Amino acid sequence: MSALRISGGRVHDPANDVDGELHDVCIDGGKVVAEVGPDARRIDARGMVVMPGGVDIHAHIAGPKVNAARRLSFELRRDDVEACAGALRSGTGGLVPSTFATGYRYSLLGYTTVVEAAAPPLAARHVLSELRDTPMIDKAFLVLMGNNQVLFELIRESRGAVSPALRDAVAWWLEATGGYGVKLVNPGGVELWKQNNGYVDSLDDQVAGFAVTPRQVLEAIGGAVDELGLPHPVHVHANNLGVAGNADTTLETMRTLSGRRAHFAHLQFHCYGGKPGGRLRSRAPELLDYLGGHPELTADVGQVMFGEAMTTTADAHVSAVLRDLSGGKWINHDTEVETGCGIVPYSYRARNYVHALQWGIGLELFLLGRDPWQVMLSTDHPNGGSFLAYPKLIRLLMDRGFREEQISRANQRAIRETALLDGLDREYTLNEVAIVTRAAPARRLGLRDKGHLGIGADADVTIYHDRADREEMFATPRYVIKGGELAVEEGELRRADDGLLLSSRAAFDPEVSRVLEPLFGERYTVAFAHYPVRDPALREPARIVEAGS
Amino acid sequence: MPDPGPVTCAGCALLCDDVTIEPSGDGVRLEPPCPLGAQWFSERARRPASAPAATIRGQAAGVEAALNRAAELLRGARRPLIYGFDGATVEDARAAVALADRLGALVVPGGLAGAWPGAPALPLRGASSATLGEIRDRSQVVVIWREDPLTSHPRLLERLGFVDGSADGSPRRAWRGTRTLVVLDDRDTATAARADLRLRWARERDLEALTCLRAMQRGVAARSSDLGDALGGLLERLGEVPHAAFVYGPALSSGAGGQRRALALHELVRALCGDRHVVTLALPSAAGATGAEDVLTWQTGYCGSVDLAGGHPELVTATRPLMADEGVDVSLCIEGGLSPAPAGVAEIALGSLPARGDAEVSIHTAAAGVEATGTAHRLDGVPLALQAPLARDAPSAAALLARLLAEIER
Ligand code: SF4
Ligand SMILES: [Zn+2]
């Protein structure tokens, strides 16, 4: 890896309190360094904006669910192809691009790290194989644990407390799969869906057959993740996604986890007032208030963008509701012991009350929040829209005129339910954009070498033309540097890079196998001995982030 | 023979991973017993040490020479075709699509003798499905649609909880009362003999039957009088339980009209899902089929046959072998069956079993699950590790494909 000097650019590195200062960024050996010699290659970044590479804390890019969504969206990829050229592989795009295209397109957008936010542990080998075929970016995945019958048994035994066995089991599962963090999706509710198309009404509902409640699952697994000191806190997709009045559930979930670190996924889908079955309202301000008083909690927005989307979720009950709304394609897949899966293509329309309200609530979360470190950018790709819509979303945040014009096209009855017409003139600064798209996600993921440009950081750098049209600016970086090497130049990929798998590891008592094995034997149809992924071809090269480090 | 502990059998797409193998006669015996699995292991364990590592036009050759000849053929190919994957691992399939990408090849996941898969039904409407354990522990009614798993996937019924002599093989059934095994077939198969409820009509009437079921489920009277009673009985049984599963395979979904029949089944299941939980399970036969299809989907975006000739993936929707129409001149068969290649096509075969005598080039590969490790996707999508209880040092197909690619790019 050769030395490189990025000179004369305006640097936005909020993690190091650098806000648009002119200074050089020096790179050697794949890392940011203090100085490089006079022979170092030079990138002239005068007049340009320099940021750390983008970090996506929540997207769906790999695994059986994503692959099923690819199948379901074959029409959308016919006219959106990547050609095989040199070392680059061919592929197709659409809302759920093929693996190579996913890596290329994230890289072309200036993103260098992406988290797959919901992997069934039973499918770890599949997820890892796909991630191996997703080039250019470093990637991690979160392991679904919120509806795991084996963990339910341990939680029942401990009556909802964090027991040593539970803590060990959580660490065992990460080690068995190569996962990075722990995801809870509709805790308890997916098991109820698989039992009898059921759902959770309150956090204190019993999950039939297990005598555990969603609240106990949150407390026990959230607590275990916290006690293990995993780099990323428990990542929660709360119960009752999309349902009118679900803000009560979300607040209750936040209260349950408060005092422990936790990240709330796609908060926009969990911010609704109104009565179940009735008209949706916004309760975003209330949730933001609560977050404001609880710095240990963070969220990503899950902004919906008008246009086509592909809803893909472990929360299969939601998919059945969308199936009945849309009448269109629908996939349901039940995974034994662990989770469910639902997929429905969906279209968000500006004139539709609910869709416009969802869009408006997302913007409220961005614009009314006081601390951008707490509320990060996501579209829950491809659920609220493709990651390719990020530049447009950034323009909505940075450009008030553009935003108002877009607001005027949306359903006005919905917009009046939000704060968007109350003279909301906030415009994100470049530093705030750098916070919500790289600095905050990296910090929240516990990736100390990412999301900033301090000495010792990974040399993942994105350099933009400073254009007035922020959408254009963020859609086509001038340069993207990944691991110290030039990856993208003016919308063209310059090299093929495999990227790293990011895994985390926490110590556990290996004797936990004795507890798990009998519980496995009577539930799974795969052998306990064969469950953990050992094949180095799937697990390496990886960077392991140790718990508590 | 060393005792490797339980291993995964790749004798069929069920990929049972609880199998112990023991020598028996000149082959092996499996525990739990399975005739198909025993035959599969035995065929691969029996390979004489003297068998050539490669052949060129039927003559023994070195691997290097065979690879060079294969690379030469592929480099000069006008219209290369890559197919097979019956015994391929996920790693093999990844390497194969990488090579196809570089060559601009046509990729057909499956053999060439039968109908091509064409455009499957799932992309048009979706499907409801589940892993084996979900069906075993929840489905009280399991309908087997014109397949004979006791022959093709001998342990399927056992693994779905239908143990000999009792219908209760589920250690953790969420239901009480008896389970019903419904078998639709007009042939007297081994599976049909196990049925609690038998349905019989000719295959030509499957679409009519599915359409009628859908209509009756909506409350519209069945128009077809002679099927009405049988269909009514099935609907009644389904109506009594909160969970049911339909098991189907090529007999429903392949050949002329296959896509429509599969669509009709998924539509029926979807309708039944309104007030209960109903799932489907597809039964591909080959252990490598699901993995190859998954790889093709994630690397190209399409399942089914994919054409890379234009420099990017295009979905091929044809459902009959079009070898002649496609102008294929060189074919590369990866861990495929022994279907005859059409005349005028130079065939390169990478496989763990002896290739046909008329192959231009054949190279012996280590059989995944016997001689080499790898990953395979079970028919319900669950990815599993394949072990190498009789490890030998023959190259895997993936390794050979990587060398071919390097040779072609040189
Ligand atoms: S059913 Fe199939 S996978 Fe299972 S042991 Fe028999 S041949 Fe092998
Ligand atoms: Zn998500």
pLDDT tens digit string along A2-49?
Answer: 899 999 999 999 999 999 999 999 999 999 999 999 999 999 999 999
Ligand 1, residues at Cβ distance < 6 Å? B 9, 11-12, 14-16, 19, 30, 34, 36-37, 40, 153-155
Residue B45 lies in a domain: no
Name the residue among B99, B65, B1 with its Cα closest to residue B371.
B1
What is the atom index within ligand 1 of the atom nearest the CA of B287?
Answer: 3
Q: Return residues 523-542 of A near B (CB < 8 Å).
A: 523-527, 529-530, 533-535, 537-538
Chain B residues closer than 8 Å to A74 by CB: 123, 301-302, 315
Q: How far is the CA of B278 from the centre of ligand 2 (A)?
A: 25
pLDDT in tens, A485-501: 999 999 999 999 999 99
Which domain-ending residue is among B220, B248, B282?
B282
Same domain, B229 and B95: no
Residue B20 lies in a domain: no
Q: Tell me how far CA of residue B62 lies from CA of A221, A430, B195, in angstroms.
A: 57, 62, 53
Query: How far apart, in whole angstroms, are the C-alpha atoms of residue A191 and residue A195?
Result: 6
Percent of chain A surpassing pLDDT 70: 100
Q: How high does pLDDT run on average in chain A?
A: 97
- Strand blocks (E) in A186-338: 234-237, 262-264, 272-273, 281-282, 297-300, 307-313, 330-334
Query: How far apart, in whole angstroms, are the C-alpha atoms of residue A268 and residue A283?
Result: 10
Same domain, B274 and B402: no
User: What is the mean pLDDT of the segment spanning A282-294?
Assistant: 98
Which domain-ending residue is among B238, B265, B282?
B282
Ligand nearest to the CA of A57: 2
Same domain, B173 and B273: yes
Q: Tell me how far CA of residue B3 lies from CA of A199, B351, B375, in angstroms.
A: 47, 26, 21
Q: How far is the CA of A314 from the centre of ligand 2 (A)?
A: 8
Q: Which pLDDT does position A8 carry in this prediction? A: 97
Same domain, B96 and B240: no
For ligand 1, atom 3: residue with the closest CA: B15
> ∠B246-B247-B250 over CA atoms, to 5°?
130
Cα dihedral A470, A472, A475, A476 sign: negative
What is the atom index within ligand 1 of the atom nearest the CA of B19?
Answer: 5
Q: Give the domain range for residue B349.
A: 54-110+287-409
| Helix/strand/coil for A146 | coil
Number of structural domains found in chain B: 2
Structure tokens at B135: 């069906």
φ, ψ (nearest 5 deg) of residue B216: -65, -35
Q: Which pLDDT does position B223 carry in this prediction? A: 63
Q: Which pLDDT does position B327 carry in this prediction? A: 87
A101 touches chain B (CB under 8 A): yes
Closest residue on chain B to A208 (Cα): B174
| Closest CA–CA distance from residue A298 to any residue of chain B (Å) | 32
- Summarize chain A as % helix, strand, coil (round to 5): 35, 25, 40
Name the residue among A469, A63, A76, A55 with its Cα closest to residue A309.
A76
Residue B7 lies in a domain: no
| Closest CA–CA distance from residue A84 to any residue of chain B (Å) | 5
Residue A171 predicted with pLDDT over 90:
yes
Q: How high does pLDDT run on average in chain B?
A: 90
Same domain, B85 and B170: no
Q: Which pLDDT does position A1 carry in this prediction? A: 61
Closest residue on chain B to A321 (Cα): B274
Residue A410 predicted with pLDDT over 60:
yes
Name the residue among B275, B200, B191, B195 with its Cα closest to residue B241.
B275
Same domain, B188 and B294: no
Asked if A530's CB is within 8 angstroms of B383's CB, the reply is no
DSSP-assigned beta bridge partners for residue A330? B126
Query: How far apart, in whole angstroms, are the C-alpha atoms of residue B30 and residue B375?
Result: 21
**CATH code for the domain in which residue B299 is found:** 3.40.50.740
φ, ψ (nearest 5 deg) of residue A130: -65, -40
pTM above threshold 0.80 = yes
Q: Return residues 401-440 of A near B (CB < 8 Å).
A: none
A522 touches chain B (CB under 8 A): yes
pLDDT in tens, B113-128: 655 544 578 889 999 9
Q: Which pLDDT does position B167 carry in this prediction? A: 46
Query: How far apart, in whole angstroms, are the C-alpha atoms of residue B271 and residue B218?
Result: 8
Substitution target from A61, A72, A74, A100 for chain B, most B beta carbons within 10 A: A74
**CATH code for the domain in which residue B193 is found:** 3.40.228.10
Residue A369 predicted with pLDDT over 50:
yes
Query: How far apart, in whole angstroms, are the C-alpha atoms of residue A91 and residue A79?
Result: 11
| Helix/strand/coil for B126 | strand
User: Nearest CB to A527: which of B18, B134, B279?
Assistant: B18
DSSP state of A22: E
What is the atom index within ligand 1 of the atom nearest the CA of B34?
Answer: 6
Structure tokens at A95: 């809302």
Q: Which pLDDT does position B221 carry in this prediction? A: 74
Which stretches of A197-262 are DSSP H helices?
214-228, 247-257
Q: Tell me how far CA of residue A219 lies from CA of A146, A407, B57, in angstroms.
A: 11, 40, 67
Same domain, B271 and B398: no
Same domain, B191 and B294: no
- Summarize chain B as % helix, strand, coil (round to 5): 35, 20, 45
Q: Look at the block and give the residue holding tokens 């710095």.
A: A295
What is the atom index within ligand 1 of the atom nearest the CA of B30?
Answer: 5
Asked if A336's CB is within 8 angstroms of B133's CB, the reply is yes
Ligand nearest to the CA of A309: 2
Percent of chain A surpassing pLDDT 90: 97
Closest residue on chain A to B137 (Cα): A523
Contact B167, B268 (CB under 8 A): no
Residue B136 lies in a domain: yes
What is the atom index within ligand 1 of the atom nearest the CA of B11?
Answer: 7
Q: Which pLDDT does position B323 carry in this prediction? A: 63
Contact B59, B49 (CB under 8 A): no
Residue B303 lies in a domain: yes
Asked if B298's CB is within 8 angstroms of A62's CB, the reply is yes
Regions of chain B with pLDDT less than 70: 1-4, 112-119, 164-177, 222-224, 318-324, 338-342
What is the atom index within ligand 1 of the atom nearest the CA of B40?
Answer: 7
Substitution target from B270, B298, B302, B384 for chain A, most A beta carbons within 10 A: B298
| Helix/strand/coil for A318 | helix
Ligand 1 pocket: which of B153, B159, B162, B379 to mutate (most atoms within 8 A of CB): B153
Asked if B102's CB is within 8 angstroms of A84's CB, the reply is yes
Chain B residues closer than 8 Å to A209 by CB: 174
Substitution target from B90, B131, B155, B246 for chain A, most A beta carbons within 10 A: B131
> ∠B79-B84-B87 over CA atoms, to 5°?
150
Cis peptide before B171 (omega within 30 of 0): no
Same domain, B369 and B388: yes
φ, ψ (nearest 5 deg) of residue A141: -135, 150
User: What is the mean pLDDT of the segment spanning A158-185?
Assistant: 97
| Neighbouring residues of A299: CB distance < 8 A, sequence distance ≥ 6 | A263, A264, A265, A267, A291, A365, A374, A375, A376
Query: How far apart, in whole angstroms, are the C-alpha atoms of residue B139 and residue B160?
Result: 9
Q: Which pLDDT does position B175 carry in this prediction? A: 45
User: What is the mean pLDDT of the segment spanning A242-256?
Assistant: 97
Cis peptide before A541 (omega within 30 of 0): yes
Same domain, B68 and B130: no
Contact B248, B108 (CB under 8 A): no
- Please return the burial class of A153, using the count of CB atoms within 10 Å of its CB with bins 0-12, 13-18 and 19+: buried
Contact B151, B191 (CB under 8 A): yes
Contact A394, A437 (CB under 8 A): yes
| Helix/strand/coil for B379 | coil
Domain ranges of chain A: 309-343
Q: How far is the CA of B286 from the centre of ligand 1 (A)?
A: 11
User: What is the mean pLDDT of the segment spanning A225-254?
Assistant: 97
Same domain, B95 and B131: no
Q: Which pLDDT does position B166 carry in this prediction? A: 47
- What ipTM was reported for this prediction? 0.97
Contact A33, A455 (CB under 8 A): yes
Structure tokens at A109: 């957008």
Same domain, B250 and B127: yes
Query: How far apart, in whole angstroms, are the C-alpha atoms of residue A236 and residue A146?
Result: 9
pLDDT in tens, A317-349: 999 999 999 999 999 999 999 999 999 999 999
Ligand nearest to the CA of B12: 1
Q: How far is the CA of B178 from the centre of ligand 1 (A)?
A: 26
